[in-house]
Amino acid sequence: MKFFVDTADVAEIRALADLGLVDGVTTNPSLIAKSGRKIAEVIAEICTITPGPVSAEVTATDFEGMMAEGKYLRDIASNVAVKVPLTEAGLKTCRALSSEGTQVNVTLCFSAAQALLAAKAGATFISPFVGRLDDIGHDGMQLISDVVTIYNNYPAITTEVLVASVRHPIHLIEAAKMGAHVATLPANVIKMLVKHPLTDRGLEAFLADWAKTGQSIL
């Protein structure tokens, strides 16, 4: 399973890249706004940190505007994946850009029907938002299960399921059990994955017993 980091905070990305945990990065207009930086500048920097796909989202809502912005964003670096919303204009843009060899991440997906349309439009990635479905009392992971099942029925579909809006480790584990290709994780969720109280307690006990030997390895 590929881990993407869901942030435009380059310090967070660098720290996680040092752990070997960054297979790509996803951003969105809200994350760019939070970074306080110009989109071209921050995406360019992120693209130097990881060779993996870096999603940069258009903000136009019409086809012509999305195409113009998408071409601008893809020219920032060869590993930019252009992100488009799951709308008619977004699907049309996805078809056009993907047919030119550009990676496209279709985002704001909340139904299996939408995910099927994105695959037919040639999306590289589909981003179903599990956390936002959970937030309104729907079952976000059921959407992932449905999309993975549907995609697996058709070998011709090469679109990768990129689980997004991840709130906690259970989302990740369940997505991995279902065979989702990618999860995009906020940095704090990645940090949650590492921690277990029994690991901490076990290490403490090992070191206490080791101290009693009076030895040092070096």
Q: If you ran DSSP here, which 8-state letter would residue 111 be given?
A: S
199, burial (CB in 10 Å: exposed 0-12, middle 13-18, buried 19+) = exposed
Among 16, 24, 26, 115, the residue binding ligand G3P under the rule CB under 6 A is 26
State the Cα–Cα distance between residues 136 and 146, nearest whole angstrom. 19
Site string for ligand G3P, 27-66 (x = CB under 6 A): -x--------------------------------------
Nearest CA to 6 out of 134, 175, 146, 167 is that of 167
E strands along 12-168, which residues? Answer: 24-26, 54-57, 80-85, 104-109, 125-128, 160-163
Quick one: the chain helix, strand, coil %, rounded to 5? 50, 15, 30
- The verdict on 112 binding ligand G3P (CB under 6 A) reads no
Site string for ligand G3P, 123-142 (x = CB under 6 A): ------x-xx----------
User: 188 to 217, contacts with ligand G3P by CB under 6 A?
Assistant: none
Catalytic residue among 34, 83, 177, 212: 83
- The verdict on 7 binding ligand G3P (CB under 6 A) reads no
- The verdict on 184 binding ligand G3P (CB under 6 A) reads yes
Provide the minimum distance between the beta carbon of 140 and ligand G3P in the complex, in angstroms, as a whole number. 10
State the Cα–Cα distance between residues 104 and 93, nearest whole angstrom. 9
> Parallel, antiparallel, or unpaired: how do β-strands 104-109 and 125-128 relate?
parallel
Residues forming beta bridges with residue 211, ordered by sequence position: none
Active site residue 83: yes
Provide the minimum distance between the beta carbon of 83 and ligand G3P in the complex, in angstroms, as a whole number. 8
- The verdict on 164 binding ligand G3P (CB under 6 A) reads yes
The contact set with ligand G3P (CB under 6 A) reads: 6, 26, 28, 129, 131-132, 164-165, 184
Give the catalytic positions in this structure.
83
